[in-house]
């Protein structure tokens, strides 16, 4: 977080607070209470837990430290809805969140209302002095960005919950199943965009909001490289499948091949063979539908993305290469985000100009870069320092956002991260060469 925004008054954040909090509840609204308590795997959290945890965050880091006389609705929630902040206190085990039938969905919404009413008081009053007001503003900004991350997680997790059901229900029946307007229907190989090597700066500047893992801004040396001008499509992935890509050891990292065999991967997550047509269907948040060849492939692990890139005679880009291309891209950003309310990746538009398409939105793009701190990385002070830094081990960086990421949540320097075997994120890939 920036340490220079001392003139920001927390009242300026009240509208943003109300907007972000209301969106989270709208995203949960299409689900039945029964949907909101299921935990379909250890990595998934029930919708109800997301609703509660994002409220816990404001209570733990703002209301208790800064609002005189604040009283928790239920002191036990501090244990139940702490995610991973060891220095804050004990927490309910993550794999057992699905056992929390109580508090009920109704009671969790009551907890949100209790926190919201108190947050309005603190946002209207500010701190006792200029420094405390600035600190409140910094923490509210972090809390809103944290909640936007959980909006995406909520949709990822409920998709996995619904996709695990033999009934294959839709999250919403009104979601569009096709893209209106122009689309790239060429079916040919992607074009390539060339970028000059040399010394470049990447990372977030010191001013303005960014997560601590995006800083410090620093120089990197890269060689000349090329990026594919669009994302890898489902049609290209079908060719990989038909060429035995999931059964060819020479394409895979050893751990990836072991995971592929153990979990019997034969296609991206949510793809199913249609015996009647001998084709493939895919589970979307709008229910099952045939796989569309020109849509970006999504829900693939880093292991799969790396194997595909090797099969295609290319590689995954480094995160520095991706950011260099993103900074050079003309504004406004293209791409589908949560705001478009399609909740599924859209095909590329016909190419106009020499810049890569689909750099932002649609699917998170796996990179070849391990998730580690930049040289000079400094986590936030205190308990909030656990937000990112302690996860810089064994994961890979993804860039660009997805169709379930709020558009105003992203930056060119934004670093997402997942373990290489994980598939339930809205993750795909773009190829690189050179």
pLDDT digits (tens, 9 = 90+) for 362-386: 999 999 999 999 999 999 999 999 9
* E strand spans, 143-217: 192-195, 198-202
| DSSP string for 47-81 | HHHHHHHHHHHHIIIIIHHHSTT---S-TTHHHHS
| Partners of 195 in beta bridges | 225
Structure tokens at 300: 């693939």
- At residue 274, the pLDDT reads 84
Mean pLDDT of 77-85: 97
Question: Nearest-5° angle of CA 123, CA 126, CA 128?
Answer: 155
**What's the CA angle centered on 286, arms 28 and 154, to 5 degrees?**
30
**What confidence score (pLDDT) does residue 185 get?**
62
Other C-beta atoms closer than 10 Å to the C-beta of 414 total 22
pLDDT at 1 over 90: no
Rounded alpha-carbon distances, angstroms, from residue 318 to 113, 160, 356, 371 = 43, 29, 16, 11
Instruction: Give the pLDDT of residue 3.
Output: 36
Which residues are CB-contacts of 368 (< 8 A; sequence separation ≥ 6)?
306, 315, 316, 317, 318, 396
- Two tokens at 212? 């601590």
- pLDDT tens-digit series, residues 316-364: 999 999 999 999 987 556 679 999 999 999 999 888 778 899 999 999 9
Q: Is the pLDDT assigned to residue 183 strictly greater than 90?
A: no
The domain 192-433 is placed in CATH, from the list 3.40.50.620, 3.90.1580.10, 3.40.50.720, 3.65.10.10, at: 3.90.1580.10
Cis? peptide before 103, omega within 30° of 0:
yes
pLDDT tens digits, one per residue of 230-240:
999 999 999 99
- List the chain domain ranges: 10-163, 192-433
Give the mean pLDDT of 290-318: 97
Using DSSP, state whether 408 is helix, strand or coil: helix
* pLDDT in the model for residue 242: 97
What separation in angstroms does the CA of 175 have from each of 283, 288, 326, 329, 374? 13, 12, 29, 30, 40
Q: Say what the pLDDT of residue 399 is.
A: 98
Mean pLDDT of the residues in the chain: 93
Residues 196-211: tens digit of each pLDDT: 999 999 999 999 999 9
Whether the predicted pLDDT of 428 surpasses 90: yes
User: Tell me, what's the pLDDT at 191?
Assistant: 93
């Amino acid at each position: 977080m920036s340490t220079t925004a001392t003139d920001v008054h927390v009242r300026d954040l009240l509208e943003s607070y109300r907007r972000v909090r209301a969106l989270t509840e709208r995203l949960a609204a299409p689900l039945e209470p029964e949907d909101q308590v299921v935990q379909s795997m250890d990595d998934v959290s029930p919708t109800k837990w997301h609703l509660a945890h994002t409220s816990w965050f404001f209570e733990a880091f703002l209301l208790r430290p800064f609002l005189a006389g604040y009283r928790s609705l239920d002191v036990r929630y501090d244990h139940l809805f702490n995610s991973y902040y060891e220095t804050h206190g004990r927490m309910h085990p993550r794999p057992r969140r699905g056992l929390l039938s109580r508090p009920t969905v109704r009671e969790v919404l009551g907890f949100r209302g209790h926190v919201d009413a108190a947050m309005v008081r603190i946002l209207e009053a500010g701190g006792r002095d200029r420094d405390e007001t600035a600190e409140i503003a910094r923490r509210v900004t972090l809390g809103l960005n944290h909640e936007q991350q959980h909006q995406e997680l909520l949709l990822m997790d409920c998709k996995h919950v619904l996709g695990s059901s033999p009934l294959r229900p839709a999250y919403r029946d009104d979601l569009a199943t096709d893209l209106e307007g122009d689309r790239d229907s060429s079916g040919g190989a992607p074009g390539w965009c060339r970028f000059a090597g040399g010394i470049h700066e990447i990372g977030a500047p010191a001013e303005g909001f960014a997560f601590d893992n995006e800083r410090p801004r620093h120089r990197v040396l890269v060689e000349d490289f090329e990026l594919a001008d669009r994302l890898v499509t489902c049609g290209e992935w079908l060719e990989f499948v038909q060429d035995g890509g999931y059964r060819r050891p020479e394409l895979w990292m050893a751990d990836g091949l072991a995971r592929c065999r153990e979990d019997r991967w034969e296609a991206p997550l949510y793809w199913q063979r249609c015996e009647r047509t001998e084709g493939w269907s895919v589970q979307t948040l709008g229910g099952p539908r045939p796989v569309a060849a020109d849509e970006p492939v999504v829900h693939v692990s880093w292991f799969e993305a790396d194997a595909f890139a090797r099969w295609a005679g290319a590689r995954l880009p480094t995160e520095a290469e991706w950011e260099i291309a993103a900074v050079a891209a003309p504004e406004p950003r293209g791409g589908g985000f949560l705001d478009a309310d399609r909740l599924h990746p859209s095909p590329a538009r016909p190419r106009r100009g020499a810049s890569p398409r689909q750099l932002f939105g649609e699917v998170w793009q796996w990179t070849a870069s391990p998730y580690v701190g930049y040289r000079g990385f400094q986590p936030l002070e205190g308990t909030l320092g656990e937000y990112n830094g302690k996860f810089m081990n064994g994961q890979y960086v993804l860039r660009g956002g997805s169709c379930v990421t709020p558009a105003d949540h992203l930056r060119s320097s934004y670093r997402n991260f997942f373990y290489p075997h994980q598939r339930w994120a809205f993750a795909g890939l773009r190829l690189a060469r050179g």
